Amino acid sequence: TTKATTKATTTAATTTKAATTTKPTTTTKITTTKATTTTTTTTAYKPKEIVVPNWGALPFMTGQTAFIEVHANVGDKVTWIWSDPIPGIMHGVFGIDAEYCPLVAQAAGFNCSWVFSAPGEFPFACQDHWFMAGKVVVSTPGSAPSPAAAQAVPASTAAEVLVPIGLTDFVGPTGFNGNIIQAHAYVGDTVTFVFTDPGLHGISTLPGTAQVGTCEVTAGPGHNCSTVYNAPGAYSFFCPVHSFMQGVVHVYNRPATTIAWGWASKGAAGNDVTISVGDSVTWSWTDTLPQGVQTSAGLLCAVLAFSSGHTCTHSFGQAGTYFYADPYFPEVNGTITVTPHA
């Protein structure tokens, strides 16, 4: 018996442990931003002094000074300087909110001031001579300045007179009606011919008549042309395409309304008048007292001792109601009502 001897050879398996450990590396970059602060320096408003010269009755009475308008900022000082060369005349400055300067008799050169601390419009006048008047317009520093006040009694502006014209004005159901258009205007007015139908029309002057202005032949409706009349007269015209389309523009001198002006005019019914835009009013002196005509806009007629018969005229170019008075004798007053041009 053969005993097989088996040698068991044990091979120790050596296991190599991969001991390679990869450690992730995270790099954090910290960026520091430096905040920049910009400081804007605002320069504080420095109040200023605004001088109102010629604060006296004489400049107003002679027309050298009219309604005074002063523009200022909050904090500004307004200074009125007395100017009357005649000693003993009392002047002051009175406002709606306060008495800016007390009523005193001071020689020319004396002055008085007031600081305005709030925005707004502040009317003022002399306590003893109400025709010495004006207003202070106060704005906040840095704001847009207030626009100048519109003239309360605007200068005369000519009116526009519209003259519609078309075939139906001359042709009726039974044929031609023989119509002639009659238009009326004042010297200086603009007359505008407006064609009312789609036909070809124009405006020409009749031979031997004053020049009326012309319109080229164009298809309407709505076509129009204008001319200004600078002299009174009768201006005949016709359409060169349709000779039966004829008319006349009657131009007149602008009327003037006369108001008797004097101490005797106190309370007179004739002081209240109604006129049209562009019309004139004439004040005719009836005595030798110092008188004038004033509205809130200032003097229309200077205050002087004119002889009886002296006149002063003003044209009104905007519809409205205007109160007026004698600045020296405010009891003498009236109202002018200006209506749109007819």
Mean pLDDT, the chain, integer: 76
CA 297 to chain centre: 13
Whether 149 shows a pLDDT value over 70: the answer reads: no
DSSP class of residue 267? Answer: T
Average pLDDT (330-341) is 83
Q: Which residues pair with 314 in a beta bridge?
A: 281
Given a cut of 80, whether residue 304 has pLDDT beyond it is: no
The SS3 call for residue 111 is strand
For residues 318 and 292, the answer to whether their CB atoms sit within 8 Å is: no
d(CA 210, CA 233): 8
Of the ranges 4-13, 191-200, 279-288, which one carries the lowest mean pLDDT score?
Answer: 4-13
Q: What is the pLDDT of residue 77?
A: 95
Q: Which residues contact 140 (CB under 8 A, 6 or more apart)?
A: 73, 74, 119
Residue 9 has pLDDT above 90, yes or no: no
pLDDT given for residue 107 in this prediction:
84
Q: Is 58 helix (H, G, I), strand (E, B) or coil?
A: helix
Q: What is the pLDDT of residue 48?
A: 93
Asked whether residue 12 carries a pLDDT value surpassing 50, the answer given is no
- pLDDT greater than 50 at residue 293: yes
User: Tens digit of pLDDT for each residue in 87-143?
Assistant: 678 888 987 678 899 988 888 889 999 999 999 888 888 877 766 878 899 999 876
DSSP state of 85: S
pLDDT tens, 206-224?
665 555 566 777 776 777 8
Higher pLDDT: 205 or 191? It is: 191
Rounded to an integer, the average pLDDT of 260-264 is 86
In the structure encoding, which two tokens stand for residue 138, read together?
A: 């106060």
28-84 pLDDT tens trace? 454 454 555 555 555 788 999 999 988 988 777 666 676 788 999 999 999 999 988
Q: Which residues contact 269 (CB under 8 A, 6 or more apart)?
A: none
Work out the average pLDDT over 251-278: 84
